[in-house]
Amino acid sequence: MELGGRTILVTGSSRGIGRATALLLHERGARVVVHARSPSERTSILLEQLGDRGALVTGDLAAPDGAALVWEGAVAAFGGVDVLVNNAGAWIASELAPDDAWRAGWDANLALNLTAPAELCRFAILHFVDREPGDGTGGVIINLVSRSAHRGDDAEHLAYGAAKGGLLALTRGIARGYGRSGVLAYAVAPGWVATELADGAVEQSVLEALPLGEVTPAADVAEVIAFLASGRARHTTGATIDITGADYVR
């Protein structure tokens, strides 16, 4: 049980990549704090699957104190957090005009896709550096960005790409700035993943152009996150792992 004894917070784990990740981390032995905006049938089923190594925290991360409340709840669940997986996010449109649509899209993207994960990173670093590292690892942060962080997003989602680009730069800064304190930080950058976020966006023409001929399964992203969470390749810190099925190759 590679992740035995570790407590991992996975934000946005009611569905999609987060849910697949929570289940895999649990299978590998971790205690998992799952998170969603509010309790639902989905979170009840997930909690049942996780048994006594699972707990739920809820809260809107786009709200001003959302990240603080989620972090407090996660730490309280099992008495600490060893790995933070900043997964919650949404592909929110940001039309250029009219002005208020642009501002609303920009603010919403930054609040959920950049400010909230940044706040969670901040709380995690303070928590990690404040304790005795057991196995040489003070803690691990894994941030879900997107290939948009590198190449930008489409015309309707400029703010999403900008937010993910900001999160990518933050991840690299943390890896460089807090490595000596035992904090490892990684970015995971998917292309199209088969979740509700991508539903309706992947048309037949897009599908036909994908090198593997299929949208990435959430389980593939979960595998990479589980590997990074293990701390087995500490010197990968600061890296971004692309998971696009070669649809976007840098």
Ligand X SMILES: NC(=O)c1ccc[n+]([C@@H]2O[C@H](COP(=O)([O-])OP(=O)(O)OC[C@H]3O[C@@H](n4cnc5c(N)ncnc54)[C@H](OP(=O)(O)O)[C@@H]3O)[C@@H](O)[C@H]2O)c1
Applying CB under 6 A, which residues contact ligand X?
12-18, 36-37, 60-62, 87-90, 112, 144, 146, 190, 192-193, 195-198
Instruction: Provide the 3-class DSSP secondary structure of residue 55.
Output: strand
> Which residues partner with 141 through β-bridges?
84, 185
Residue whose CB is less far from ligand X, 115 or 146: 146
Least spacing, CB of residue 118 vs ligand X, in Å: 13
User: Among 160, 178, 186, 248, which one carries the catalytic annotation?
Assistant: 160
Least spacing, CB of residue 221 vs ligand X, in Å: 7
**Owner of token pair 């959920």:** 112
Least spacing, CB of residue 60 vs ligand X, in Å: 5
- The DSSP symbol for 53 reads G
186 φ, ψ (degrees, to nearest 5): -130, 150
H-state helical runs in the chain: 16-27, 41-50, 66-78, 99-110, 116-129, 148-151, 158-178, 204-209, 218-230
Least spacing, CB of residue 133 vs ligand X, in Å: 28
Q: Which two tokens stand for residue 202?
A: 């992947």
Residue whose CB is less far from ligand X, 47 or 129: 47
Residue whose CB is less far from ligand X, 14 or 115: 14
| Residue 186 is among the residues annotated as catalytic for this protein | no
Residue whose CB is less far from ligand X, 30 or 85: 85
Q: Which two tokens stand for residue 21?
A: 């990740």
Q: Which two tokens stand for residue 109?
A: 């993207």
Active site residues: 160
